[in-house]
Amino acid sequence: MNLLYTLDLLGTAAFAASGALAGVRRNMDLFGVLVLGLVTATGGGTIRDLLLGDTPPFIFKDETYLYLSLCVSVAVFLFHRNIDRFHHPLLYCDAVGLGTFVVIGTSKAIAFHIGFFGSIMMGVMTATAGGMVRDMLSTHVPLVLQREVYASACLAGAALLYLLHFTPLPGNYASLIAALAVIVLRLLAIRYNWSLPRASHNEHAD
């Protein structure tokens, strides 16, 4: 499915940019920026493949993802001063990446006969685990655990795809619908500043 592969690469590039930028902001050296770019872009899918027992993971079967992440990270390292200009395009690409990664992860889990909960976990993990490792490597509490409907959009899309899988709808259409659901939810969440409830816990973190 060529469209999905194209969207996948677009998302990979956007995720690599977000990781590399985090490295620049943490004042890391060139190697650190590359590692954060690579991990953010490919970490989620790699952990998914490890859990499914599909080794070596996808990044070693098609090195396009690695070279693309590398090039984007180097570009961010060199031109990070101008990156504000790309703030909006990056947000859109990031949303496209989110939708694509959720669909790829969930579909793969279904193909490996994982159940409902597990398939949704795989979809959400494919889209968010790379960013969580990025935040752990820079000793920040992962953003995705703290704010916005980032993960919820993934949850909704993954659940939708799992259910569509039992309808006579062809797989390509189901994937497209689920990916669009994630992307639209994510963009609406940004626009209207949605957020999930927190437990109203007043003490500071101990």
Residues 164-193 that bind a copy of itself (CB under 8 A): none
Is the preceding peptide bond at 57 cis, omega within 30 degrees of 0?
no
82 part of the interface to a copy of itself, by CB under 8 A: no
Q: What is the DSSP letter of 26?
A: T
118 binds a copy of itself (CB under 8 A): yes
Q: How far is the CB of 38 from a copy of itself (least distance, A)?
A: 8
* Span interacting with a copy of itself, options 9-17, 96-104, 184-192, 198-206, rule CB under 8 A: 198-206
Of 71 and 169, CB closest to a copy of itself: 71
Q: Which region among 4-12, 86-94, 132-140, 166-174 touches a copy of itself (by CB under 8 A)?
A: 132-140
Q: Which stretch binds a copy of itself (CB under 8 A): 95-103, 134-142, 163-171, 173-181?
A: 134-142
Among 145, 163, 169, 188, binds a copy of itself (CB under 8 A): 145
Least Å from the CB of residue 141 to a copy of itself: 5
**90-98, 138-146, 164-172, 179-187 -> range binding a copy of itself (CB under 8 A):** 138-146
- Whether residue 3 contacts residue 33, with contact meaning beta carbons closer than 8 Å, is answered with no
Looking from the CA of 135 toward its CB, the CA atoms found within 13 Å total 13
H or E element, residue 90: helix 87-111
- Cβ(155)–Cβ(121) under 8 Å? no
Contact 161, 106 (CB under 8 A): yes
Say how far apart CA 70 and CA 57 lie, in whole Å.
17
Q: Would you count residue 12 as binding a copy of itself (CB under 8 A)?
A: no
Q: Which residue has tokens 């859109």?
A: 92
Between CA 6 and CA 9 the distance in angstroms is 5
Taking a C-beta distance cutoff of 8 angstroms, is the pair 3, 59 a contact? no
Give the whole-angstrom CA distance, residue 119 versus residue 72. Answer: 30
Minimum CB–partner distance for residue 3 and a copy of itself (Å): 25
Question: Which residues here bind a copy of itself, judged by CB under 8 A?
Answer: 23-33, 35-36, 46, 50-53, 55-57, 59-60, 63, 66-67, 70, 77, 80, 112, 114-118, 121, 132, 136-142, 144-147, 151-152, 155, 195-199, 201, 203, 205-206
